[in-house]
Amino acid sequence: MLNGAPIVKLVKETKMTSLRPVAHASEDVGAAMRAIGAEARRAARVLANAPRAQKDRALVAAAGSLRGKAADILAANARDVAAAKARGVASAFLDRLMLDEKRIEAMARGLEEIAALPDPVGCVLARFERPNGLVIERVATPLGVVGVIYESRPNVTADAGALCLKSGNAAVLRGGSDSFHSSAAIRACLVDGLKAARLPEAAISAAPSAAREAVAEMLAGLGGALDVIVPRGGRSLVERVQSEARVPVFAHLEGIVHVYVDRAADLGKARAVLINSKMRRTGVCGAAEKLLVDKACASTHLAPLVKALLDNGCAVRGDAAAMDADPRVTKASEEDWRTEYLDAIIAAKVVDGLDAAIEHIETYGSHHTDCILTEDHQAAERFLKEVDSAIVLHNASTQFADGGEFGFGGEIGIATGRMHARGPVGLEQLCTFKYRVHGDGQTRP
């Protein structure tokens, strides 16, 4: 959705004169973005050494500013909403874009909650004394400059900006062009907070316009200034960032989330966890998408589970066994096992025990979140060990796949990559570390 149309449009508008204006526009945005990157890098050095109290003061002051400037934010949002309506966007899109007093208050409270979290910077992660008397500490330090590319949710401006600030990172934000005015108004409040705490404004900066070139410039790393990019949005955005970014990315492309009901599963528990995993919210990445039932308990467990899903308004696509279990089940295709519905649909099948379940998940899964339901401790241990996903659960809803539910006090995203961050990316994962070595004149023989 970030590709194509607008760039083509720009070229069309200018092709009858000369291509130079296009190049110029691009160069201007590029230069502006690289300048923002350089400023962010400088700000990151200040932030990295800022004491906790100063960062928290900025967050609390920003919360105050959000409340004080609510009218400005709503006016800016009204402009974005009017433009979106004029373009005839879908109602789900409008809902994500729209702000009201309640959502502004929720943002303000979010900032205060982040202020109340412990400072991750400076935490001693490990400490060891060597035989020669050297004391070596591994200490958490900020990553540096975090780029956040998001779509139409303007509240990401506050959430992501605050998480970066608290973790001592500078943030470069690039919100969707649809929420440009809303995001700018929210960022102005964050800047109020930074000023109140005498922190550099560049600690939380934003692309200067809604120009699409800003995204390309960020994917290229802002001239070496960006340490990591976090995309927040739909599949097409994440896919583009993952394939084009020249800097590390914290992201997940999709959550093909499995619930495996083992032969030793308690049926009542399994039903409750399954329905919650699938139906609590169907549009979140931790929502269950596949049900695997152990052949050994299919005769007792499959029909009631499928019925519960159907009775709760979930369409079920299944293998022959699932279709036998209930006439409302339709036939699942091979594609169904690879599809993230993000809707009230699930694919269900019988598998030949734990090994087959693990094999299915490793073949079709997305290494996001997977769950086993069983009263057999050994089976659970094997599943938790052998399923190679960021989050593996035993007897608990997959909808717990969330930084808040993990106690991280917020998350900037969920990562399924294997480098640095995996699972919910909270304050701790927005940090790297360094080694501090304390000596008394030691030399190496």
Q: Which residues bind its own copies (CB under 8 A)?
A: 45, 48-49, 122, 128, 130, 134, 136, 141, 143-144, 227-228, 248, 266, 269, 272-273, 275-276, 280, 362, 380, 384-386, 388-397, 399-400, 405-407, 418-420, 422-423, 432-444
Give the strand pairing for 369-373 and 257-261: parallel
CB of 429 to its own copies, least distance (A): 10
Q: Which CB atom, from 273 or from 321, has the smaller least distance to its own copies?
A: 273
Q: Pinpoint the alpha helices (H) of 49-151.
A: 52-68, 70-86, 91-97, 101-116
Give the strand pairing for 423-425 and 413-415: antiparallel
Give the Cα separation of 414 and 355 in Å (integer). Answer: 27
Q: Which CB atom, from 9 or from 198, has the smaller least distance to its own copies?
A: 198
CB of 137 to its own copies, least distance (A): 9
CB of 200 to its own copies, least distance (A): 16
Token reading at 289 = 């998408």
Q: Which CB atom, from 18 or from 243, has the smaller least distance to its own copies?
A: 243
Token reading at 444 = 């190496």
Q: Report the chain's terminal Cα–Cα distance, integer Å.
A: 60
CB of 156 to its own copies, least distance (A): 22
Beginning with the edge strand found earlier in the chain, give each strand of the sheet holding 204-206 in spatial order: 204-206, 170-174, 145-150, 228-232
Give the Cα separation of 298 and 85 in Å (integer). Answer: 49
CB of 373 to its own copies, least distance (A): 9
CB of 12 to its own copies, least distance (A): 33
Q: Which CB atom, from 156 or from 247, has the smaller least distance to its own copies?
A: 247
Residue 99: what residue type?
Answer: L
Q: How far is CA 46 from the centre of its chain?
A: 26
Give the strand pairing for 257-261 and 288-294: parallel
Q: Decide: 231 and 215 in contact? Cβ < 8 Å.
A: no
CB of 8 to its own copies, least distance (A): 28
Residue 252: what residue type?
Answer: H
Q: Which CB atom, from 288 or from 332, has the smaller least distance to its own copies?
A: 288
Strand partners, 258: 290, 370
Q: Which CB atom, from 242 or from 339, has the smaller least distance to its own copies?
A: 242
Q: Which CB atom, from 23 or from 53, has the smaller least distance to its own copies?
A: 53
Beginning with the edge strand found earlier in the chain, give each strand of the sheet holding 288-294 in spatial order: 330-331, 315-318, 345-351, 288-294, 257-261, 369-373
Q: Which CB atom, from 130 or from 328, has the smaller least distance to its own copies?
A: 130
CB of 75 to its own copies, least distance (A): 35
